[in-house]
Amino acid sequence: MIPLSFYLVVSTTMFVVGLIGVLVRRNFLIILYAIELMLNAANINLVAFSHYFQSTTGHVITLFIITIAAGEAAVGLAIIIVLFRKKATTNVDEINLLKW
Amino acid sequence: MVIFSSILTVGLRNPIYCTIALLSTFLHVAGLFILLHAEFIAAIQIIIYAGAVLVLYLFVLMLLNLKSNETFLQRQFWVSIFFGVVILAEILIALFKSPGMEKMETAGVFPAIGNTEAIGLSLFNEYLLPFEVVGIILLGGIIGAMVLAKQVPAR
């Protein structure tokens, strides 16, 4: 039986890696990947707790999170396509249209 | 392995390699779900993430035809690494200092819950309203993506 804390450590590390990825990378696409990593870390946490508390709540919320992640991916990719059409880059440093 | 491939996802230079590393991360997370007796979630993880979302990302990646640029990291590289490690240490300390961790370690196996039937019953009884809301969010996402990605006529 694997203790709960192992899952928590793995998901924490994965979350922090995703966080560093959002902060560090310049490519918009990779930033979206890092956001997916963070959502997955949250999923691991939810499923682990729902396993150890013996309830299905975590599973259901994990389903919702996966759905939201898919929607977020679709909208984010649409934004990337529009930006790429306008500026021919995915570098977040060069996207400063809203800057005043 | 999960942590290794997620670090690869963030750290690799070529976006296509990043995508493959992300796929590997998703498959490993699905393995973790199977270890936790959440077979339905594992199947959903593989089908939706590895099947649908990753293919969507790969399509856009191929469509954009990115060139791998030299300066792929932000200038504040070390600062963000430092703060990330600090946050990691804080969360881990809070985790292991928290009461009730020892009690949680010995929680037993549970056979019946975690299968598809229990999730379905819970989803359509307790969580019916969030389910509908998620449907509406998906619809809004679809419409938003289509409106955004539509070719605007040149003015």
Chain B residues with CB-CB distance to A38 below 8 A: none
Task: Count how many domains chain A has.
Answer: 1
Q: What is the pLDDT of residue B9?
A: 67
Query: Which of B16, B78, B88, B142 lies closest to A30, judged by CA?
Result: B16
CB contact under 8 A, B64 and A36: no
Q: What is the pLDDT of residue B107?
A: 53
Q: Sketch the domain layout of chain B as residue ranges.
A: 1-72, 113-155
Query: pLDDT tens for residues A28-76?
Result: 888 888 898 899 999 998 988 888 777 778 888 888 999 898 888 888 8
CB contact under 8 A, B141 and A74: yes
Q: What is the pLDDT of residue B95?
A: 79
> Does B150 or B47 have the greater pLDDT score?
B47
Q: Which residue of A has its CA nearest to B110?
A: A54
At residue A27, the 3 state secondary structure works out as strand
- Is residue A99 domain-resident? no
CB contact under 8 A, A51 and B36: yes
Judged against a pLDDT cut of 80, whether residue B35 lies above it is answered with yes
Q: What is the average pLDDT across B21-36? A: 86
- Is residue A96 domain-resident? no
Q: What is the pLDDT of residue A39?
A: 92
Q: What is the CATH number of the domain that holds A59?
A: 1.10.287.3510
Q: What is the pLDDT of residue B145?
A: 86
pLDDT bin (cut points 50, 70, 90) of residue B32 is confident
Contact of A22 with B112, CB cutoff 8 Å: no
Going from the C-alpha of B80 to that of each of A23, A54, A56, the distances in angstroms are 6, 37, 36
Chain B residues with CB-CB distance to A87 below 8 A: none
B85 close contact with A: CB closer than 8 A = yes
Q: A74 lies in which domain range?
A: 4-87
B104 close contact with A: CB closer than 8 A = yes
Q: What is the pLDDT of residue B22?
A: 86
CB contact under 8 A, B2 and A72: no
Q: What is the pLDDT of residue B78?
A: 78
Q: What is the average pLDDT across B59-70? A: 71
> Does A77 or B116 have the greater pLDDT score?
A77
Q: What is the pLDDT of residue B148?
A: 82
Q: What is the pLDDT of residue B136?
A: 92
CATH topology of domain B1-72: Four Helix Bundle (Hemerythrin (Met), subunit A) (1.20.120)
Query: Which of A5, A54, A38, A72 lies closest to B102, judged by CA?
Result: A5
B1 close contact with A: CB closer than 8 A = no
A64 close contact with B: CB closer than 8 A = yes
ipTM surpasses 0.90: no
Q: What is the pLDDT of residue B39?
A: 81
Q: What is the average pLDDT across B13-18? A: 78
Structure tokens at B21: 């590393």
Does this model's pTM top 0.90? My answer is no
The DSSP 8-state label assigned to residue A2 in this structure reads -
